[in-house]
Amino acid sequence: MSAIDVEGVLSAVKRVRGGVAVSHNKNTAEMKTVRIPSPEKVVLPMQQHIGAPCTPTVKVGDKVSVGQLIGDSDKYVSAPIHASISGKVIAVKEIKLPTGAVSQAVTIESDGEMRLFEGVVPPKVETKEELFKAARESGLVGLGGAGFPTHVKINVPPEKPIDTLIVNAAECEPYITVDYRECIENSANILDGVYKLKSLLDIKNVIIAVEDNKPAAFTALKRIADSEKDYDDSVKLMVLKSRYPQGAEKMMVLATTGRKVPPGKLPADVGCIVMNVGSVGYIGRYLRTGRPLISRTLTVDGSAIMNPKNVRVPVGTSIGEIINFCGGLMEKAEKIILGGPMMGIAIIGTDQPICKQNNAILAFNKRDTEVKPETDCIRCGYCSLACPLSLMPTLIERYTKARDIDKLSEIGVDVCMECGSCAYSCPSGRPLVQYMRLAKSVLREAGANK
Amino acid sequence: MSVENKLTVSASPHVLSRRTSQRIMLDVIIALIPALIASTIIFGWRVLAVTVTAVASCVLAEYLSRRAMKRKNTIGDLSAIVTGILLAFNLPVSIPLWMVVIGSVVAIVVVKQMFGGIGQNFVNPALIGRIVLLVSFSTAMTKWTSPLSWLGADAQTTATPLAILEPNCENLPSLTDMFLGIRGGSLGEVCALALIIGGIYLMARRVIMPIIPFTYIGTFAVIILIAGKGDFEYLAYHILSGGLLLGAIFMATDYTTSPINIKGKIIFGIGCGLLTALIRLFASAPEGVSFSIIIMNILVPHIERLTTPKPFGTQKVKNESTPSEVGKEAAKV
| Of the partner residues B15, B328, B330, the one whose CB lies closest to the CB of residue A342 | B15
Q: Any idea what the CATH number is for the domain that residue A140 is in?
A: 3.40.50.11540
Q: Is A18 a domain residue?
A: yes
Work out the burial of residue B33: count CB atoms within 10 Å of its CB; fewer than 13 is exposed, 13-18 middle, 19 or more buried.
Answer: middle
User: Is the minimum CB–CB distance between A341 and chain B shorter than 8 Å?
Assistant: yes
Q: How distant, in Å, are the alpha carbons of A405, A422, A437, B16, B321 from that of B327?
A: 10, 21, 14, 29, 10
CA distance A93 to chain B (A): 22
Cα–Cα distance, A70 to A185 (Å, whole number)? 30
Burial classification of residue A123, based on how many CB atoms lie within 10 Å of its CB (0-12 exposed, 13-18 middle, 19 or more buried): middle
Chain A neighbors of B208, CB-CB under 8 A: none
Contact A263 B326 (CB under 8 A): yes
Contact assignment for B331 to A446 by CB distance below 8 Å? yes
Three-class secondary structure of residue A441 per DSSP: helix
* Amino acid B327: pLDDT: 41
Per-residue pLDDT, B23: 95
- The alpha carbon of residue B4 and the mean position of all alpha carbons in its chain are separated, in whole angstroms, by 51
Quote the pLDDT of residue B153.
58
Distance to chain A for B163, nearest Cα, Å: 36
Three-class DSSP category at B256: coil
Residue ending a domain, among A250, A268, A289, is: A289
Q: Which of A17, A334, A446 sits opposite B8 (nearest CB)?
A: A334
Q: What angle do CA B255, B257, B262 make, to 5 degrees?
A: 60
A333-338 vs A360-365, strand pairing mode: antiparallel
- Does residue A272 sit in the same domain as residue A394? no
Task: Write the pLDDT tens digit of every residue in B263-304.
Answer: 999 999 999 999 999 999 998 777 889 999 999 999 999 999
Amino acid at A5: D
The verdict on a CB contact (< 8 Å) between B8 and A335 is yes
Cα gap A380→B256, rounded to integer Å: 7
Are A42 and A281 in contact by the 8 Å Cβ rule? The answer is no
CB B228 within 8 A of CB B274: no
CA distance A332 to chain B (A): 9
Q: Does B331 touch chain A (CB under 8 A)?
A: yes
* Nearest chain B CA: its distance from A239 CA (Å): 23
A262 contacts on B by Cβ (under 8 Å): 313-314, 316-317, 320-321
List the single residue in A337, A388, A446 with the smallest CB-CB distance to B14: A337
Residues B106, B54: contact at Cβ < 8 Å? Answer: no
Identify whether A330 is part of a domain.
no
In a domain, B174, yes or no: yes
- Give me the number of domains chain A comprises: 2
Is there a domain that residue A101 lies in?
A: no
CB of A145 closer than 8 Å to CB of A420: no
Beta strands in chain B (DSSP E): 144-145, 157-158
Of A177, A150, A176, A179, residue with least CA distance to A165: A150
> Which string of DSSP letters, residue by residue, matches B29-84?
HHHHHHHHHHHHHHH-THHHHHHHHHHHHHHHHHHHHHHHTT----GGG-HHHHHH
Indicate whether A322 belongs to any domain: no
Phi (first) and psi of residue A68, to 5 degrees: -80, 140
In a domain, B138, yes or no: yes
- Residue B311 · residue A412 · CB < 8 Å: yes
Q: How far apart are CA A355 and CA A314, in angstroms?
A: 9
Residues in chain B: 333
> Does residue A303 lie within any of the structural domains?
no
A22 touches chain B (CB under 8 A): yes
Instruction: Tell me whether residues A333 and B3 touch, CB distance under 8 A.
Output: yes
Instruction: Residue B314: list chain A partners with CB under 8 A.
Output: 262-263, 412, 415
Last residue of a domain, one of A289, A307, A336: A289
Question: Cα A54 to chain center, whole Å?
Answer: 20
Question: What is the C-alpha separation between A337 and A360, in angstroms, rounded?
Answer: 8
- Establish whether the linkage from the previous residue to A245 is cis, with ω within 30° of 0: yes
Question: Alpha-carbon distance A313 to A296, whole Å?
Answer: 6
**How many residues make up chain A in this entry?**
450
A137 and A274 part of one domain: yes
Of residues A174, A389, A392, nearest to B15 (C-beta): A174
- Measured between CB atoms, does B138 come within 8 Å of chain A? no
Taking the Cβ of residue B324 and every Cβ of chain A, the question of whether any pair is shorter than 8 Å is answered with: yes
Q: Is the minimum CB–CB distance between B310 and chain A shorter than 8 Å?
A: yes
DSSP, collapsed to helix, strand or coil, labels residue A16 as coil
**Angle of helix B323-332 versus helix A432-449 axis, rounded to 10:** 70
Does the pLDDT value for residue B169 go beyond 70? no
| Total number of domains in chain B | 1
Q: What count of Cα atoms within 13 Å lies in the side-chain half-sphere of residue A312?
A: 15
> Is residue A163 domain-shared with residue A264, that is, in the same domain?
yes
**Across the interface, do B4 and A350 touch by the CB < 8 Å criterion?**
yes
Indicate the residue type of B239.
I
B119 with A329: Cβ contact below 8 A: no
Q: What's the pLDDT at B328?
A: 43
Q: In a 3-state reduction of DSSP, which class is residue A267?
A: helix
Secondary structure class of A337 (helix, strand, coil): strand
Q: Which of residues 247-306 of B touch A (CB under 8 A)?
A: 255-256, 260-261
Query: Is there a domain that residue A106 lies in?
Result: no
Tell me which residue range forms the domain holding A266.
10-31+122-289
At B37 the pLDDT is 97
Residues 62-101 on B with a CB inside 8 Å of A are 74, 77, 79
What is the span of the domain harbouring residue B112? 21-307
C-alpha distance across the termini of chain A, in Å: 54
Nearest to B311 among A391, A424, A427 (CB): A391
Whether B323 sits inside 8 A of A263 (CB atoms) is yes
Question: Could you count the other beta carbons within 10 Å of the beta carbon of residue B47?
Answer: 23
Q: Could you tell me if residue B39 is inside a domain?
A: yes
pLDDT of residue A66: 94
User: What residues in A contact B118, CB-CB < 8 Å?
Assistant: 375-376, 378
Lateral strand order in the sheet of A69-72: A55-56, A69-72, A81-82
A273 plus A394 within the same structural domain: no
Is A440 an interface residue toward B (CB < 8 Å)? yes
Q: What digits encode the pLDDT tens for the residues B216-270?
A: 999 999 999 999 888 898 899 999 988 999 999 999 999 999 999 999 999 999 9
> Of the candidates B153, B277, B261, which has an alpha carbon nearest to the alpha carbon of residue B222?
B277
H-state helical runs in B165-231: 175-180, 192-204, 211-227
State the ipTM, two decimals. Answer: 0.86
Cβ pair A365, A330 in contact under 8 A: yes
- pLDDT for B326 equals 40
- Of the candidates B110, B77, B185, the one whose C-alpha atom is nearest the C-alpha of residue B141 is B185
Residue A185 at interface with chain B, using a CB cutoff of 8 Å: no
Asked if residue B31 is part of any domain, the answer here is: yes
**Cis omega before residue B13 (within 30°)?**
yes
CA distance A263 to chain B (A): 6
Phi-psi region of B195 (alpha: psi -120 to 50; beta: other; left: phi over 0): alpha
Question: Is position B14 within any domain?
Answer: no
A212, part of any domain: yes
| Extended strands (E) in A27-100 | 34-35, 41-45, 55-56, 63-64, 69-72, 81-82, 87-96
d(CA A183, CA A170): 11
CA–CA separation, B12 vs A346, rounded Å?
Answer: 8
Asked if residue A301 is part of any domain, the answer here is no
Q: Is residue B163 part of a domain?
A: yes
Give whole-number Cα distances, B296 to A362, B253, B269, in Å: 48, 12, 9
Is the CB of A199 inside 8 Å of chain B's CB atoms?
no
pLDDT of residue A371: 80
Partner A contacted by B151 (CB < 8 A): no
Burial label, A74 (beta-carbon count in 10 A; 0-12, 13-18, 19+): exposed
Question: d(Cα B269, Cα B296) in Å, to the nearest integer?
Answer: 9
- For residue B11, give the chain A residue with the closest CA: A434
Alpha-carbon gap, residue A53 to A252, rounded angstroms = 29
Which of A376, A411, A432 to mutate: most B Cβ within 10 Å? A376
Q: Is A47 helix (H, G, I), strand (E, B) or coil?
A: coil
B15 has a chain A CB within 8 A of its CB: yes
Question: Backbone phi, then psi, for A286, in 5-degree steps?
Answer: -65, -40
Q: Are strands A41-45 and A102-110 parallel, antiparallel or unpaired?
A: antiparallel
- Report the CATH number that the domain containing residue B185 is assigned in CATH: 1.10.3430
Cβ atoms of A310 and A362 closer than 8 Å: no
CB-CB under 8 Å, A333 with B7: yes
Q: Which ranges of chain A have pLDDT less than 50?
A: 1-3
Same domain, A278 and A148: yes
**Chain A residues touching residue B297 (CB < 8 angstroms):** none
User: Of the candidates A255, A289, A323, which is a domain's last residue?
Assistant: A289
